[in-house]
Structure 1
Amino acid sequence: MRAPRLPAWTATLTWKAAVFIAVMCCALAALLGVLVHVSVTGQTVNDSREKALARLTDVTRLYEAGEPLPRFAGVDPAGLPSSLRALAVRGERGTMVTDDQGRPTMWAAGPADGRALAVRVDYTQSAETIEALDRSILGSSVLAIGATLLVGAFAVTRVTRRLHLTAQVARRISAGDLDARVADPRTKDPSRPQDEVATVSGALDTMASSLQSKLQSEQRFTADVAHELRTPLTGLSAAAELLPEGRPSELVRDRVRAMRGLTEDLLEISRLDARTETVDLAVHELGPLVERVVRAMRASGTETGVRIVRDATVETDRRRLERVLGNLIANAHKHGAPPVVVTVDGPVVSVRDHGPGYPAYLLESGPQRFRTESGGKGHGLGLTIAVGQAAVIGAELVFAEAEGGGAEALLRLPEYVALMDPGAED
């Protein structure tokens, strides 16, 4: 039988620290309580025993002198414990605490002519003192445990809050926000002592700064290379147009076009990485916009079907949306198999082909630059640009396996909702 799964909050450091503090406080309180109880009880019993034995000595003197005995003494009195009576008959003296008619009583007995001479001392006050002490120990232990838990929880919460902040910043960095920093004040002053959390926070900030610097250097290098390539490629393109018609000139023009496309893609990716893009938002009908993109793709020789299940009005950047849809459709034709169908269902646009589907790495972690698993065609930049432009216009792009086989890209756009005029009816 499978053991029940504990709630997630039981795995938190705060919960574990609280349980540890509570267990240790209870153990310490129990140990101290037992020690105090044993010590005070022993002292109280000793005092009562000495008092009872002193009375027994006085009563023994009266018995030997033949004088009458006081009310609290007697020979073989009723209520005397049998074990204490047997001890006195054997010629020894002893004491014992029992319950005599509902009242705690300290008995002291000694030998008297083969019988037991005994005295009794009221033990009620001593018993009440011990009970009051036990209640005080229990109450003070509860208060001490509660106070310790509050102080411990406050101290642990401060640490866990800093750890949560560090984890949150790490997640922001992994999501692409390289400007995120923990900025723990303990790391700003080198002369200030640092705890382990501050050390981890400082290491994370240092790593983020180093990573940001390296990525910015790579982005600048990519942008500079792309800019430097544009000029010679423009000249090469013009020179290729002057070549005489024939197979060699067609190959040169084709390679020049591919190089120019790759250069433009690199420039676009560098702008997306630098997050310097600005959007030109406007309200558009999604269906006609998608049909216009498909018509443009058909002009280039790719046959694509369109289905309008439900049209919607969206607020987006038309140029960037057309770029995203164009890249998705081109990728479906290049790496998938026909038929390629674009479906509009409200603010969601899907691009589906009937090929082998997206590779596993793409479904798991998204498109990667210069990586493709379709026979070496392409550079893996088209989907990367689509993801970047979708993020710029505030859309969500998801890659999935289509039902029945094939690849499907789902683009979810922010739908535009017009506000009603104050006098309009529902």
Structure 2
Amino acid sequence: MRGALTRLRGRLAGLLPTLRLRLVVVFALVALAAAVSASGIAYWLNRDAVLTRAQDAALKDFRKAMEDHVGQLPRQYDCAQLRDAAGRMANSTQGYEVVLLGEDRNGSACRAASAPGFFTYSDVPESLRSAVDRRREVDDANRFPYHLYWQRVVREEDPYLVGGAKLIGRQPSPSGYMLKSLAAERDDLSSLSWSLGIATALALIGAMLLAQAAATTVLRPVRRLGDAARRLGEGKLDTRLKVSGTDELAQLSRTFNATAASLEKRVAELSAREASSRRFVADMSHELRTPLTAISAVTEVLEEEQDNLDPMIAPAVGLVVSETRRLADLVENLMEVTRFDAGTARLVLDDVDVADMVTACIDARAWLDAVELDADRGITARLDPRRLDVILANLIGNALKHGGSPVRVSVRVRPGAAPSGDDALVIEVTDHGPGIPEDVLPHVFDRFYKASASRPRSEGSGLGLSIAMENAHIHGGTIRARNGETPDEGAVFTLLLPRDASELAEPEGDAAAGRRPRGRHPDRGRDGGRDADGEQHGDARWDDDAGRENEA
């Protein structure tokens, strides 16, 4: 039952999509129901009154005419006298026709009609004849053996009243029947029904006009509330509504203003906390660079002398060296993340041969034996070489660590695939591993995400793929992850970048002012999953001039 009601509400909502239309329809239906009910009641009351008055007057006149004319006939009468009495009875102000039945002085049945060609005894309904002829017992509750009966009939689409009675007091008792036309009453009732129909239509029109006025009155503050909510959603947290009155809409406006004020205060607090947290991370990362530089120098010396150290000390030295490098990578990644969050990261564009770029990235990290390159020479693009190198290093390193060699890197140009409609550079990294677990796919580009909770101290920090995604976004591109379609394919990461990112690069003055770059790709969601602690940084310890200026 509830499901049926839900479906009905859904269909009604589809038929009546706007609140104004619903108000007009509801007002119209209510007005129509009220007008039809009132008109119907008025019609039936008037119809009953008109018909009752007409038939009572006709039957009363018929009874009196029976007494005056048939009752005055001699005890021994003939058919001519009975016809004369029927003619005198029909000559009445009520305008009915009469049929009289009796026995003449010879005992023969005699039927006399005032209009033989129009109303005869055969025209009287059988049920009415039986009722008139039936004799009833006389007692305290019934003082007369015969009564006056009537019935409404339709002849040739015209309404008539048929009445009949026996004359009491003489034997044999003559019977009389009358036929009165109700056409006048029908015409009066037709005029009344037309009047009520016109009144109903006028009431419906008035209700619709009233509904329009009411809808305008009700929807105006609702529209203002909708506009205010839209401005609030656009970030204009100082939006407020003008409140007047004490009705429900005014109370709703007050509630909206209170909610907007609370939201503005809360957002200000969260923004202050977020800015403080970002500043803290940036300051902490910046302050850690100096001691890390000194520690890194010492660890390099220790690493060079590791073979000459005591065998009991060498493993500890190796652990210190690896953890120091891991900490240095983490600090650099945190600094890069703060640049993206603060909107200070910018593009430094150059024309690059993509195949040469991929080869250089692989060669710098000694991955030539484990990576197969499928790229045509001469595919050029105007991109930021350093950021493209970071993306490639993370994707290929992640595939080598968590997939399986050989890792295949293919470079293609896809016409019109860029968000701007221009040609897109498509770089696909495919490994031969087991693929990406389905529960990991939605989180692979999340910061600090690691697919296995049992590896909290893994070599990676969980930032590599998220930084790769940010670098793709700043170019106006994106990265998507999926599982291969054939058995020999594992995870497949697809990088889509525009071949020319010039429109997304900011002028030098804008970047120094700390504005967020225009290269934010609309596809900001997570495109897939992968164990994010498998990033490969390589020579990712870069210096970003704009970033250092904001950190100073």
- The two structures share one fold, judged by TM-score above 0.5: yes
Q: Which one of the candidate residues 374, 385, 407 is aligned to 2:467?
A: 385
Whichever of the two has the greater Rg, that structure is 2
Q: 1:343 — aligned with what? A: 410
**Distance change (3 Å), C-alpha of 1:373 and 1:282:** same
Report the counterpart of residue 99 of structure 1 in structure 2: 154
1:229 to 288, 298, 318: 288
The residue that corresponds to 2:39 in the other structure is 36
Shift of residue 185 of structure 1? 3.2
Shift of 1:325: 1.6
Matched, 1:109 2:187: no
Higher helix share: 1
Return the offset for 1:57.
2.9
The residue aligned with 2:514 is: none
Q: For residues 327-379 of structure 1, what are the alpha-carbon distances to aligned partners after superposition, in whole Å with 9 as ceiling and x for unaligned?
A: 21122222222111111121211112122333444412442322323643311
Residues 1:316 and 2:339 aligned together = no
Secondary structure in 1 aligned to 2:391?
Answer: helix
The offset of 1:162, in angstroms, is 6.7
Alpha carbons of structure 1 residues 301 and 15: separation in structure 2 relative to 1, 3 Å = same
Distance 2:491 2:232 in 1: 34
CA RMSD of aligned residues (A): 4.6
C-alpha distance in 1 between matches for 2:376 and 2:209: 64
Structure 1 residues 52 and 184: CA distance shift in structure 2, 3 A: farther
The 3 A distance-change label for structure 1 pair 396 and 225 is: same
> 2:370 — aligned with what?
303
Determine what percentage of the aligned residue pairs are the same residue.
24
SS at match of 1:194: helix
Residue 200 of structure 1 deviates from its aligned partner by 10
5+ unaligned residues in a row in structure 1: which ranges? 171-178, 419-426
Alpha-carbon shift at residue 120 of structure 1 (Å): 2.4
Give the match's secondary structure for 2:476. coil
Q: What are the equivalent positions in structure 2 for 1:132-147 lying under 5 Å apart? A: 132=194, 135-136=197-198, 139=201
Match of 1:273 among 338, 341, 347: 341
In the superposition, relative to structure 1, how do residues 118 and 151 fare at CA in structure 2: closer, same or farther (>3 Å)?
same
CA separation of 1:396/1:194 partners in 2, compared to 1, >3 Å: closer, same or farther?
same
2:161 matches 1:128: no
Partners in 2 of 1:401 and 1:187 — Cα distance?
55
TM score, norm. by length of structure 1? 0.74
Deviations 1:73-128 (A, max 9, x none): 122445555555655665135463x433223x252635253333342231331342
Gap change, CA 1:150 and 1:70, over 3 Å in 2? same
Q: Normalization by structure 2: what TM-score?
A: 0.59
- Residue 61 of structure 1: how far off its partner (Å): 3.8
Q: Which runs of 5+ in 2 are unaligned?
A: 70-87, 100-118, 134-145, 168-174, 307-313, 414-424, 503-552
Is the deviation greater in 38-47 or in 338-347? 38-47
Of 302-311 and 113-122, deviating more is 302-311
SS, match of residue 358 in structure 1: coil
Establish whether residue 193 from structure 1 lines up as the match of residue 251 from structure 2.
yes
Look up the SS of the partner of 2:241 in the other structure: helix
Please name the residue that 1:353 is paired with: 431
Q: Which has the higher contact order (CA 8 A, sep 6+)?
A: 2
Matches within 5 A, 1:71-86: 72-76=95-99, 77=119, 82-83=126-127
Paired letter, 1:132: W
